[in-house]
Amino acid sequence: MRSGGVEARFAEFYIKWVAQLEQLQLELAQAAGSGIDDQNDYQLRALVARATAHFKEYYTVKWAAAREDVLAFYSPAWLTPLESAHFWFTGWKPAAAFRLIEWSLGDLTEAQVKAVAGIRARVRAEEGKVESDMERQQVAVAGCKMVELARMRSRVRAGDQSDLGRKAEEMGEVAAGSIMAGVERVMKAGDCVRLKAMKSVLDVLTPKQSVKFLAAIAMVHVRLRKEGLKMMAMNNQSSSGSSSGSGFGWSSNSSTDQT
């Protein structure tokens, strides 16, 4: 069942989380361009720990909210269309992390390049498993439970209508519970791949490289949010101008800023 309460609470959390991420991104970018090196890396390690803790907090809150309404995360009302367009099973696609490595890090050693290539291959395989699991969930939704309900109806005689209704309702609840559990499992599997990809990459980077990598990830999140809000504002202004000028008073169905 969809819960407006979950959407409202998570939207509020997400707005604050992105604002905090933007501040972290500025600190990461500043540290990445500073003279601090890996020989004096206490500050760098502390900043990396703060950034990774911030990302983990997102998933902790997300998983808790998903227990109430997992479907909200498959069509998140708190995101802009631009952010949603870059989503893969309720979050960023893990493979995107490797494009950020290529963009933000040009000083990898030969051993690091080899290690990152191995991580990329494993992540691709795990992405495939998540996609296959979701396909199985879709097949189950479309077929299995409907067949069970149809067979049950065919076995119940006309004189057992009240019992039929009760059994149908019970099976519907069981089917819905099974489906929700399945899509929640897919969501968590996708999140685990995301977190594992990030941790695995950080494990092979130096503190300074880790700061640059996390700064790039944070920058993408923040820019998508800002550009998405800007596009929505422009679309709303355009739609408002068109409807007011038409003389018909039609209202726009455009999305509104969640903030």
Which residue, among 217, 224, 221, 214, has the nearest Cα to 32 in the 3D structure?
214
pLDDT over 70 at 34, yes or no? yes
User: How far is the C-alpha of 256 from the C-alpha of 232, rounded, in Å?
Assistant: 7
Q: What percent of the chain has pLDDT over 90?
A: 63
pLDDT level of residue 158 (50, 70, 90 thresholds): very low
| pLDDT value, residue 137 | 83
3-state DSSP call for residue 79? Answer: coil
| pLDDT value, residue 247 | 38
User: How far is the C-alpha of 173 from the C-alpha of 105, rounded, in Å?
Assistant: 51
Say how many Å lie between the first and final Cα of the chain, rounded: 24
Least confident of 23-37, 125-139, 174-188, 231-245: 231-245
| pLDDT value, residue 57 | 98
pLDDT tens for 111-132 read 999 999 999 999 999 999 999 9
3-state DSSP call for residue 88? Answer: coil
* H-assigned helices in the chain: 4-32, 42-66, 81-85, 96-104, 110-139, 145-155, 161-204, 207-246
User: How far is the C-alpha of 230 from the C-alpha of 212, rounded, in Å?
Assistant: 26
Residues 225, 80 contacting (CB under 8 angstroms)? yes
pLDDT over 60 at 2, yes or no? no
| pLDDT value, residue 238 | 74
Q: Per-residue pLDDT averaged across 39-62, rounded? A: 93
